[in-house]
Structure formats: C-alpha cells, structure tokens
Structure 1
C-alpha cells in the first residue's frame, strides 16, 4: 500500500441515529474505532465517509465522524435536498471536510427518464458548483449513455461508484477475459472518464460480480487503467452493508495487482484521490467560500 493512500468510499454507522423513512436495513454499530481498526488491516489511514442511504438527508452521523477525524485525514460525501438548501450550512460542512454530495439511484431502485434525470442532476450540480464539490453517483452502467449527454453541461466533477454497477454475465456462462465493450453502457463510461470530468471508483465488486476471482470486473478495471488511469480511485465500501462478515483483503490485493501491472498504484490509491477530494494540507483549514 503506497504512503498517503486514501479509502475513497466507506461508511460510519450507528443505530442510535434516526433512520430515514423506509430505510432498507437497520445498521450495526460501526464506530470510528472500528473504522481505524479496519483501515489498519489494509494499510490505509485516511478515509472518505459517504452517506449511506438508510439515513436519507440526515448527515449527523457522518458529520460527527468528520468533526473527530478532522479535514487532514477525512473527507465527506453527504446527501442533500437541492430544493431546500441552506448555503450557510453547506459552508460549515465544507470547513469540516465535506467535498461532495451523493445521489444514490441504484440501491434505492429509483426510476427515471432521460428528462427527469437531466433535471435532477442539474439541480444537484447547481447546488454544489460554487463549492467545487463532487457529484457522487451510484447508478447502473446501463444509464451511462444518458450521462454521456448530460455530464458535459453540468460544470461539476462526477464520481461514479462501484465500477459503474455493470450488469455482468453469470460466471458459469461467461468466457474470460470479458470484452468490456460488450457490457451495456461501458463505451459511454469510457467516453465520460476520458473527457476529464468523471472519475470511477474501484469498489464493491462483490455487489454485482459473482466470480470469486473478480474476473467480471477485471476487464473493466484494466481498460479503465489503460484509457484513463488518472481518473481511477480505490475504495473499500466498508463495512460492506448487507454483506456482513465479508473479507475484503482478496479484493484489495487484486486491485493492487492490477495497478502494479499498470504502474499506477500510487495514482489509484493516493494521487487521484487527493485531486478528486481536494486534499491539500495547506488549504484544509481554509474555506474558499467563507463570506466573513
């Protein structure tokens, strides 16, 4: 693990915080102590906390964690309602280390059309553009052709979670290595990442790849490293909600193998994350939008 590595997607949860109406599950207790204990096992110190869907727009648990960790070692990706924004609140969150907002359309089984998705993304982009925050999307790869039309006009950076959540063939019916360009939406994802405003997370392969050797996502990862290695970041997706007891180490070692072969380990685990999440120690104590 390279020095200065960041885990770009993980969660802190506590059942004492109120759940959103219709939350899909009740979280276990995953405290900052648990976070640090886990990260030590893979050799990472610095983390990006991402708001889990179960808390809706109430970011209290995440923000409390950021207050303890501090902006030198933590970043946050929150959930918001772009129709009811409080700019002063966002400025305060920025000082804590928030650098993005999340729109989760995958695990919530949200339905949308091209027009409704366009309207939705424009609202989110308008809300965060002045803060230079990232718009984090958890959305199926089949939607990438729509994003390819929308993203160039948003004026914000985009982070695509979990390899773009592809629909992969059943391992027993697949011929490996897969041709990633035969996966629905992959060509558009490549075009997005090549264009420069979109990053992709190597994370949570277990959510859609049933191959124990990660051969389903391997072709995606290798092609992304080839065409846009400066726009790929690693993330653990800890504590692997709804996959309790998962051993993430084999996946971490596999990603290290892919990036070592591409000579991009430092980039994927450290440098790209620092660029994406605005990690500059000289600026951590400053708020570029401070109106005082």
Structure 2
C-alpha cells in the first residue's frame, strides 16, 4: 500500500540529556548565541510518485543553539533547524520515518539529539550518536538506546583523519563498545579511506554504514577507481550499508549530479538490500569553504532533496528495489516496526 503520510504535528518541547564528560559550550566564543532564525530552509520538490508506507530518511540533523549550545571546539556555526522544520520538510516528501544523526558541532554532547528523539517518538525516529568510548559509561549507552539511538558515527572527514592506523583504532574501539547493544557504526570518510579499512570492516561484529555514496568524489576518478572497487566488494559481502545521500558532496554537476549515477547504480545492483536513502537535511556547507570564523552563521546549502530522491527512485528501477531502499533496509538496520507492503 502506498500513501503520502504527513508527519506534521504540534509537539511539546522536552528537556535535554547530556553524557557525562560531554564537550558543550556557548554557541559563539564570547558566550552569546547566534541570530539564526532569519536563515531560510529549502522547500523540496515533490517526489514523482507516492512513496511506500514506512519510507525513511536515514540522515538528518537538528541544530538548536538556543536550547542546546554548540561545542566550543567546532569548525563552523550552523543556522537553526529544529524538529518542527524537519516535520514540515519530511511531510512534503511523504517520509514517515527519520534517522537523526549527531552533527559535529555538538561534539559528544547528545542532548539535542535525545531531545529531538523524544519529540519525534520511537515509532518514527531513531538516532545516531557521537560518543567517546573512554568516557561514555555503560549506563549512559543504555539510556541512549532507550531513547532510540541505534548507532554511533565516526566523522573522519570533518576531522581530516587520513591516518589509517588511527582511524582503524577508532573503528575497532567503537565496535567493541556498541556491539553488545546491537548498534551499527556510521563512517563519514572518502572512499580511499574506507577502502584502506576494508579488511577490518569486513571482520567487525557490527554493521557498518558508509555515508554519502561511500565517500566517492567523482572529480577524483579514475584515481579512486580501485578504492571504489574495493568498497563495492565489501558491500557485496554484506556487512556494509551505503547511504545514497548528499550527491552534492560527491559531484559538482548541479542540479542533477548525473555523473554520480553510474556509481549509485553499481552499488544498487550489487546489494539492493544494503542501500539506504537520506536527504542530509538541512544541507550543511563544506569544510573546504570554512575560514574558522565561528561568529559567522554559515547558511545552509540550497539543495533540492526531492529532486535527489527522484534520481534514487529512477536508479532503483523497480518498485521492489525502491521499497528495499526506502522501507525494508532502514527498518531492519535501525529496528523500526515492520510495515505492510
């Protein structure tokens, strides 16, 4: 059964939650909060057809500096994007479920993430946290789990982490920490970094998710072709999921990013049961364009997530594969309730 189910609802605000040892601070270095309400958010195009019941957007962020200050140690200051904005965005697309991912600006203070999960409820939302395995206690992990967190994120791209030994150590430690909870590990890194870690990833006791087309950079092909082939084999073996998300991070061919299509199609044909779709809402900027001025509020990108979703629907080719990508795969990975087909 297919339908367009709007998420929009009036939800009460809730209190926050923070891990002990969390790195939080004022939104700006001088302790003041940025003025961000005036920055507009995008309005996506409508999908070409109604989406399957239970469709999931597997990568969105919440930014609410007024209630939950950003970490002092961060690389940028984003605008405001809160749950009510998210509901309007997903409602227009016809998306019923979301995975809220901890952004780098909050460090390991997951208060804003947990507050968003409380507002959204566990029927429609799951979370991906950022933790420090050396600081976060077992009780705190259990509390995160109870609120709907089902994974942790390693953001190697923002940190510019290209030392493979360090990245591998972080990955293995994260796996040991989250395996007892049945969580996954989400990695944001270039495809060559992911390929270098492939032998370790293949042996991990937890699923691994590669962000944003597995870190492909079309402009760096064919030099990354061997790395892509390695990751493709890793996906074929079944331990790795890939988010077909944020094509603007992989390609510069706006507005349709056609050159990422062949990579997406190879991934889908290799393991359609390991593909996920995500909008990357509200589309934060790129680290390569940041100058270190945290007093300046960085505007969100003007990206059309509906147009990007239509590309994924076309690449999927059949209704059964579209349902796998939008419903079945995220339900299995993040523990959503099954839906009728």
User: What is the TM-score of this pair, normalised by structure 2?
Assistant: 0.76
> Distance between the aligned counterparts of 1:26 and 1:8, measured in 2?
23
Tell whether the 8 Å contact from 1:167 to 1:183 is kept in structure 2 after alignment.
no
Residue pair 1:49, 1:74 contacting (<8 A) in 2 also? yes
Q: 1:27 Cα shift?
A: 2.0
Q: How far apart are the structure 2 equivalents of 1:102 and 1:274?
A: 19
What are structure 2's unaligned runs of at least 5 residues? 1-50, 286-299
CA deviations over 1:19-49 (Å, ceiling 9, x no partner)? 2233122121211110000001211021000
1:224-277 Cα offsets, whole Å, 9 max, x none, are 111111000100000001243322221111111111358510000110111111
Determine if contact 1:15/1:26 at 8 Å carries over to the other structure: no
* Corresponding position of 2:60: 10
User: Which aligned pairs between 1:119-138 and structure 2 lie closer than 5 A?
Assistant: 119-138=169-188
Match of 1:287 in 2: none
- Counterpart pick for 1:49 among 89, 100, 119: 100
CA distance in 1, matches of 2:183, 2:338: 17
Distance 1:218 1:227 in 2: 14
Matches within 5 A, 1:131-280: 131-169=181-219, 183-212=225-254, 213-242=256-285, 243-261=300-318, 263-280=320-337
Q: Could you state the TM-score of these two structures normalised by the residue count of structure 1?
A: 0.88
**Preserved CA contact (<8 Å) 2:251 2:260:** yes
More helix by share: 1
Relative to structure 2, which stretch is displaced further, 8-17 or 129-138? 8-17
In structure 1, runs of 5+ residues without a counterpart are 171-177, 283-292
Number of residue equivalences: 273
Question: Where does structure 1 differ by over 6 angstroms across 4 or more consecutive aligned residues?
Answer: none
After superposition, the Cα gap between the structure-2 partners of 1:127 and 1:250, relative to the gap in structure 1 and judged at 3 Å, is same
Tell me, what secondary structure is at the counterpart of 1:156?
Answer: coil
